Amino acid sequence: MVSEVPLDVLSEDSDTGPAPVVAVVGRPNVGKSTLVNRIIGRRQAVVEDVPGVTRDRVPYDAQWNGRRFTVVDTGGWEPDARDRAAAIAAQAEIAVQTADVVVFVVDVSVGATDVDEAAVKMLRRSHKPVILVANKADNNSLELEAVSLWSLGLGEPHPISALHGRGSGDLLDDILNALPEPPPIVEDGPRGPRRVALVGRPNVGKSSLLNRVSKEERAVVDSVAGTTVDPVDSLVEMDGETWQFVDTAGLRKRVNQASGTEYYASLRTAGAVEAAEVAVVLLDSAETISEQDQRVLTQVVEAGKALVIAFNKWDLVDADRRIYLDKEIERELKRIPWAIRVNISAKTGRAVDKLAPALRRALASWEQRVPTGALNQWLTALTQATPHPVRGGRAPRILFATQAGVAPPRFVLFTTGPLDAGYQRFVERKLREEFGFEGSPIEVSVKPRK
Ligand code: GDP
Ligand code: GDP
């Protein structure tokens, strides 16, 4: 018999869909927090139940058998409760509504009470899958007591001891089974070189830059073990690392470019960006940032790829041009203040060695994951300081947030209703201020409660 179930990270998470939500509800003192602690393997500190400190809807990251989910602890459900208790009960109802699966905890040493029966009615109304937990089944005779909880009409009771770990592995298996279908598992094989797209309008210096990095750093001829490199790509070593510049065949063939219309240029850009993880968008520092430059930048942002802007031909920038350029950057690139910039010259080789570190930084942001606890602590403070503006006497509230995926980072805000576009942008901007994401686009979406 398993008595202690370690719940440490069992495998790298490979899913990038929104993590499903499991809400833990029940009367006060039945052992909800203890159970949540066990589910998350005490990897995060559960908020102490200090009087006056609300413990409503606190979400945590959890993982079992390689499956990630969010577990939401609730303060304790009581019908007909007043004041603070009533507020907590309301929070528990909200948690149930936002959950994919509800874990309903009953204290088996007490048995089902009237309050438990009332909670069952609320759970029925929610039409959510409910897993009935008979907690505090610390020994065999208490485990037998669990049978009496069939009377609640929620199916088979799961006898566990959240305190000692008894039965918690089986419970977690059943929770996983009740979750919505997992996204297809992506094979994680050995990761090949990072894939880089070199893009920009004709004549900004893409071929020159590729030649420069290939020449200075010695082009890698052989393919890298365990990876397939497309013949149209180039493997280049920069800063001690092999990088895969995608779709460079077109860059090498100068004749194509001379005859290429903007339409074909944009198709090539789209293809390269799609195949890449990070894009270097080259701009000609000696010329004004054009609409065509903007379109290339938009292609990268909309494809959700990491972004480094290389101001090429920096050797042509004199003091006067510098002043204009700074103003231009401020005006033309204000929608992407997070992009990483490097000022280089493919011709002289100036600062070309800054490229690899910039790419690494952008990729790190692109794959950054914010722990759910930290995310929600920040969000609570933010929404308290600056709540959503009131519209027609009501203001939607953000209940909690999770990071649904990486590459690029994607966040889901669970709310009581649709948010104003302006407020959503505000949250997005503050999210960047707090957590960075330099060099990567991020996505924030809203999931209003059904
Ligand atoms: P909550 O109010 O539902 O979150 O309950 P807590 O998790 O704070 O637990 C209330 C009390 O029950 C605490 O003193 C726990 O140590 C105790 N408790 C929780 N789970 C068990 C269990 O499985 N067995 C026993 N004997 N006590 C438990
Ligand atoms: P592509 O069309 O983007 O591949 O651009 P190319 O690499 O063919 O460069 C277009 C022109 O700009 C060529 O005449 C290059 O010699 C020139 N060029 C490229 N990089 C630089 C640079 O850093 N400084 C200067 N002064 N000229 C450059």
pLDDT digits (tens, 9 = 90+) for 264-289: 777 788 889 999 999 999 999 999 99
pLDDT of residue 82: 59
pLDDT for the residue 372: 85
Query: Rg for the chain (alpha carbons), in Å?
Result: 27
Q: Which ligand lies nearest to the CA atom of residue 283 in the structure?
A: 2
Encode pLDDT of 424-447 as tens digits: 999 999 999 999 999 999 999 998
For ligand 1, atom 17: residue with the closest CA: 31
Give the closest ligand to the alpha carbon of residue 110: 1
Could you give the angle at the alpha carbon of 277 between the alpha carbons of 272 and 282, nearest 5°? 60
Residues ≥6 apart with Cβ < 8 Å to 269: 197, 199, 296, 299
- Reported as type and span, the H/E element at residue 279 is strand 278-284
Residues with CB under 6 A from ligand 1: 26, 28-34, 49, 76, 135-136, 138, 161-163
The predicted complex's ipTM stands at: 0.65
Residue 418, marked binder: no
Q: 136 labelled as ligand-binding?
A: yes
- Residue 366 annotated as binding? no
Q: How far is the CA of 270 from the centre of ligand 2 (A)?
A: 21
- Name the burial class of residue 50, with classes exposed (0-12), middle (13-18) and buried (19+) by CB atoms within 10 angstroms of its CB: exposed
| Nearest one of 379, 368, 391 to 426, comparing CA atoms | 379
What are the angstrom distances between the C-alpha of 1 and each of 9, 84, 108? 22, 41, 20
Omega cis (within 30) before 408: yes
> According to the model, what pLDDT value does residue 167 have?
92
**Whole-model pTM over 0.95:** no
Look at residues 345, 352, 412 and name the one whose alpha carbon lies nearest to residue 376: 412
Q: Which stretches in the chain have pLDDT values below 50?
A: 1-15, 45, 47, 49-54, 216-223, 225-226, 255-256
Cα(288) to ligand 2 centroid in Å equals: 16
User: What is the pLDDT, as a whole number, of residue 139?
Assistant: 95
pLDDT of residue 53: 41
Q: Please identify, by atom number, the ligand 2 atom nearest to the C-alpha of residue 314.
A: 23
pLDDT at 369: 92
d(CA 139, CA 84): 35
Q: Is 73 annotated as a binding residue?
A: yes
Q: How far is the CA of 213 from the centre of ligand 2 (A)?
A: 14
Residue-averaged pLDDT of the chain:
84
Tell me, what DSSP letter sits at residue 339? S
Cα(286) to centroid(ligand 2), Å: 11
- Whole-number pLDDT of residue 226: 47
Ligand 2 mutation pick, 198, 199, 201, 203, max ligand atoms within 8 A of CB: 203
Residue 28 marked ligand-binding:
yes
Ligand number, closest to the Cα atom of 250: 2
pLDDT of residue 97: 82
* CA distance linking residue 246 with residue 232, whole number of Å: 7
